[in-house]
Chains A and B, each alone.
Chain A
């Protein structure tokens, strides 16, 4: 008797949730933001990439984009502006430096390419570590449009031939000293006019002995503007990823 009661209560609760869940927004055809959770339509149905949860909305399977595992997702939650400028246009070509194990990459692929790459996107992912490439190449087999490259993010000519056109969206997440210089030269070589570039900066990776983190982040902002790029926002990722700031940059005409 009591069991029945509680199950019916649960049902009511779920219904309430459903009626409340109207307050979501679609950032793109594949990306859905529901309060503080982001979901992307799974381009490789019924498979998870890093143990994230799967869920159906309106008959389509979504993967949960974990902001604790992906700095881009954290930035989309934390930004004070419209989060959709942080995403590339679906079906475009993008460049991702410091690809890691493919957490962010997989969600970007969901949005950029979709199942069987029917959006026609192309995602060039560069990383130096063979361990990371092991996961990325595995991912690339099930996700068309993902091009993994084993190479140094600083040596543009070693893999530059795989980026034939300038890209409208570039992401850099390499945790090594001189990140800012690497980022600026990558923008020079590969970012199209009006293109958006994102730099995830880890304070601990820079040699910095004076005032502290806040000063470091201001200094980086100054460097970016001195290079002729437009700094749109510096998003602090505190709470998701400590000591990290994501810089959003646009290349002016």
Chain B
């Protein structure tokens, strides 16, 4: 039994004793681009033209590309120094192309977007909280439990604290902020409203990418939650391979490992809690709904990852019917028998 050894520039027929029967070498041109194409062929597990022509002459041989573990020891044709230099240049180019391709990977892009959105959101929430307290100190009569969202723009459009009090329909206490203090408050409001705008921008780009990357999961869970699951799972392919039980507790790692360690009750939901079907349901059905929803999400993720058809609204409606069914079946919490 003989084999055909080949690398990017030559091929040789070798028998099991390591005797080389025939050699065919590539005539060139030895240019970086051509060598890159050949290295890519090898990477894809394909044959070079030399290997193919030897295979036609010796049809009953097995293919043994360079690097195969069962190659017999033999003096295979080795590239000379010039050829090797070109191959090394081609390898560097290939590596760079591979790195550049990673920029097109939606998983990597979502990772940064989700991370940025998370950091920005926590900064925004604390910043806004401070702004509300700050204004409340100077204008104690003002009440904005309902719409804190407008406050930033109201501060920005006011020239001084009196004007702000007027817009808020409140009286001004005798002691107000210094001029420079008011300017600090004013720029703080600018900072808060900028963060809000930035956050919206980031979330919009998450939505755009996720709708294309995970259409079925987005139809079921919405784009932001789908993206979060995908990032927690370290990519779409990995998400698609996860069991539904893992998807159910993605994002609840702390509670989950506490459960494994101490035997505390396991978490019922992780990121999935963000979904109104769970967060707006009564406490006693949340676990049941989240279990059902996680298994549907697993199916949807697999449809997305393995090139299936995207889910239609009708399919999502069926899931919603199931949610309602669970809710009506358990109108009251289960009584614990003592």
Binding site for B on A (CB under 8 A): 122, 130-131, 133-134, 136-137, 140-141, 147-151, 156-165, 185, 188-190
- Complex interface residues of chain B between 135 and 153 (CB less than 8 A to chain A): none
Contact of B95 among A148, A163, A165 (CB under 8 A): A148
B239 CB-CB contact with A under 8 Å: no
B21 CB-CB contact with A under 8 Å: no
B69 CB-CB contact with A under 8 Å: yes
Are the CB atoms of A164 and B84 closer together than 8 Å? yes
- Central interface residue in A140, A164, A165, by most chain B CB within 10 Å: A164
Apart from A141-B92, A158-B42, A162-B87: 6 A-B pairs, beta carbons within 8 A: A140-B92, A156-B69, A157-B42, A157-B68, A158-B67, A188-B69
B175 CB-CB contact with A under 8 Å: no
B45 neighbours in A (Cβ, 8 Å): 157-158
B314 CB-CB contact with A under 8 Å: no
A165 CA to B78 CA, complexed, in Å: 8
Are the CB atoms of B66 and A130 closer together than 8 Å? no
A-B pair number, CB within 8 angstroms: 85
Known contacts A147-B92, A148-B92; is A189 also within 8 Å of B99 by CB? no
Closest A-B pairs by Cβ, 9 of them: A160-B67, A130-B102, A161-B7, A150-B98, A156-B67, A157-B65, A160-B66, A161-B66, A148-B95
A44 CA to B160 CA, complexed, in Å: 59
Are the CB atoms of B65 and A149 closer together than 8 Å? no
Are the CB atoms of A130 and B101 closer together than 8 Å? yes
A141 neighbours in B (Cβ, 8 Å): 92
A60 CA to B27 CA, complexed, in Å: 45
B94 CB-CB contact with A under 8 Å: yes
* Distance of A109 from chain B, by nearest CB (Å): 13
* Distance of A176 from chain B, by nearest CB (Å): 14
A24 CA to B71 CA, complexed, in Å: 45
B26-53 interface bits toward A, Cβ cutoff 8 Å, 1 = contact, 0 = none:
0000000000000100110100000000
- Central interface residue in A122, A130, A156, by most chain B CB within 10 Å: A130
B325 neighbours in A (Cβ, 8 Å): none
A141 CA to B91 CA, complexed, in Å: 12
B124 CB-CB contact with A under 8 Å: no
A116 CA to B250 CA, complexed, in Å: 50
Known contacts A149-B91, A150-B94, A162-B87; is A130 also within 8 Å of B67 by CB? no
Are the CB atoms of A161 and B78 closer together than 8 Å? no
- B79 closest partner in A (C-beta): A164
B88 CB-CB contact with A under 8 Å: yes
Are the CB atoms of B95 and A133 closer together than 8 Å? yes
- B7 closest partner in A (C-beta): A161
B76 neighbours in A (Cβ, 8 Å): 164
Are the CB atoms of B69 and A130 closer together than 8 Å? no
B7 neighbours in A (Cβ, 8 Å): 160-161, 164
A157 CA to B71 CA, complexed, in Å: 11
B84 neighbours in A (Cβ, 8 Å): 122, 164
A130 CA to B104 CA, complexed, in Å: 12
- Central interface residue in B71, B76, B102, by most chain A CB within 10 Å: B102
A157 neighbours in B (Cβ, 8 Å): 42, 45, 65-68
Are the CB atoms of A159 and B99 closer together than 8 Å? no
* Distance of A6 from chain B, by nearest CB (Å): 45
* Distance of A253 from chain B, by nearest CB (Å): 12
Contact of B88 among A137, A147, A165, A185 (CB under 8 A): A147
B8 CB-CB contact with A under 8 Å: yes
Known contacts A161-B67, A164-B79; is A130 also within 8 Å of B42 by CB? no
A148 CA to B94 CA, complexed, in Å: 9
Known contacts A122-B88, A161-B42; is A185 also within 8 Å of B69 by CB? yes
